[in-house]
Structure 1
Amino acid sequence: MKDVYIAPSLLSANFAHLQKDIETVESAGAEILHLDVMDGNFVKNITFGPCVIKCIREITKMQFDVHLMIDRPEEYVEDFLRIGCQWLSFHIEATDCAHEIIKKIKQYNCKAAIAIKPNTDISTIIPYLADLDMVLVMSVEPGFGGQKFIEKILKKIIELRKLPNCPKYIEVDGGINQETAIKAAQAGANIFVAGSYIFKSNQISKTIHKLRDVLYGLSTKKSPL
């Protein structure tokens, strides 16, 4: 399967040993590091901001997939773009300035993505699809890790893939493990955010290899971007 990527979610890592966990997933062959930015307003949780991500940027070569779960992302998006992320997602439910944000992201040669909650209709993002590199479909309610995968979002992924301007990448985030990854891949997703499944396992590298086996049929070959 071409153009399929695993993106470990840093939200589930051990923050007392952050560098160690990052080095572990990178050496295991993870292509992208998923970074959940939460403000305590759009979601009922607070995580980290640009200063933390800037420090992390210095210790890994993985591509950064920054997921903004914040109100008024138009006011903060450039702070994250300056850090050097390769992917940036913002929630359509959090702004009325989607066109502006996408334009700004493109100016930094970053891949632009819109994220949608499980209950958000895909009609809300149709006007922007032609300008996007990715759609992030939340398979749990945003805000906290460790939630159960919501099966109904599979229909949403299938519908997205049928749209004429659907971007190349559909990312699925929440409750991803071997079984749910297969279901999401069959629906049309090709980037898989996995947090608890990877970082809470006893053997992080082995868990990533198993997920790669499921998605690629190989445990060591890395798919180029």
Structure 2
Amino acid sequence: MPLLAPSILAADWWCVGEQVRAVERGGADLIHFDVMDGRFVPNLTAGYELLAAVKRRTSLPVDAHLMVEEPDRLIPKFVEAGADWVSVHLEATVHLHRTLTLIKELGAKAGVAVNPATPLWALEEALHYADFVLLMSVNPGFSGQRFIERSLERLR
């Protein structure tokens, strides 16, 4: 089921609350919150404190997309801050089943994200225990990138 999930990374951070309300009015299904650690991807973004502030200002579910190394160390903090959905990268997770189980035990929906160059067969086992899949259509780490057209073929 396709969902409309605008990324908070694209927002003007000085008026995030106002922009969250605008996407609510526009029909968004959830707020996508990109988390980057400067290790798994070269950029850094805000952490769970900003997610908590966004969550206080919206009734929409918040999806924390963890583009980080060792996601297990951050998952509890993001769920405690209000993340309703948490996705981790297949490429950054040593024990994916354990990581997805942790997310579910904490009460959030557990998702697996996959980079554009990762073959889809690598997802086969994860599909048995993930609640959702985030199929990346850009390489993770930077906003404003050009859409990778082949991503549409991968959806089929």
- Corresponding residue of 2:26: 28
- Residue pairs, 1:92-131, within 5 angstroms: 92-131=90-129
1: CA distance, partners of 2:3 / 2:53: 24
Q: Which amino acid aligns with 2:109?
A: K
Q: Which amino acid aligns with 1:102?
A: L
SS in structure 1 of the partner of residue 152 of structure 2 = helix
- Structure 1 residue runs of 5 or longer lacking an equivalent are 159-225
Q: Percent identity?
A: 37
1: CA distance, partners of 2:122 / 2:28: 31
Q: Which amino acid aligns with 1:14?
A: D
How well do the aligned residues superpose, as a CA RMSD in angstroms?
A: 1.2
SS in structure 1 of the partner of residue 5 of structure 2 = strand
- Residue pairs, 1:189-204, within 5 angstroms: none
- Corresponding residue of 1:138: 136
2: CA distance, partners of 1:128 / 1:141: 21
Normalised to the residue count of structure 1, the TM-score between the two structures is 0.67
Deviations along 1:179-222, one digit per CA (max 9) or x if unpaired, are: xxxxxxxxxxxxxxxxxxxxxxxxxxxxxxxxxxxxxxxxxxxx
2: CA distance, partners of 1:101 / 1:77: 9
- With CA pairs under 8 Å and 6+ residues apart, which has the higher RCO, 1 or 2? 1
Q: Post-superposition shift, 1:81?
A: 1.4
1:47 to 39, 45, 53: 45
2: CA distance, partners of 1:147 / 1:99: 30
Whether 1:15 and 2:13 are equivalent positions in the alignment is yes
Report which of the two structures shows the higher radius of gyration computed on alpha carbons: 1
Q: Which amino acid aligns with 1:26?
A: E
- Residue pairs, 1:55-74, within 5 angstroms: 55-74=53-72
Deviations along 1:7-38, one digit per CA (max 9) or x if unpaired, are: 11110101111111111111222110000000
2: CA distance, partners of 1:69 / 1:41: 9
- Corresponding residue of 1:153: 151
Q: Which amino acid aligns with 1:40?
A: G
1:37 to 35, 38, 50: 35
- Corresponding residue of 1:82: 80
SS in structure 2 of the partner of residue 22 of structure 1 = helix
2: CA distance, partners of 1:151 / 1:55: 35
1: CA distance, partners of 2:9 / 2:95: 27
Contact 1:37/1:46 (CA < 8 Å) preserved in 2?
Answer: yes
1: CA distance, partners of 2:56 / 2:84: 15
1: CA distance, partners of 2:151 / 2:6: 20
Deviations along 1:92-119, one digit per CA (max 9) or x if unpaired, are: 1112121111111111231111001000
Q: Post-superposition shift, 1:4?
A: 3.2
2: CA distance, partners of 1:62 / 1:146: 24
Shift >4 Å, 4+ stretches = none
- Corresponding residue of 1:186: none
2: CA distance, partners of 1:123 / 1:50: 32
2: CA distance, partners of 1:132 / 1:96: 15
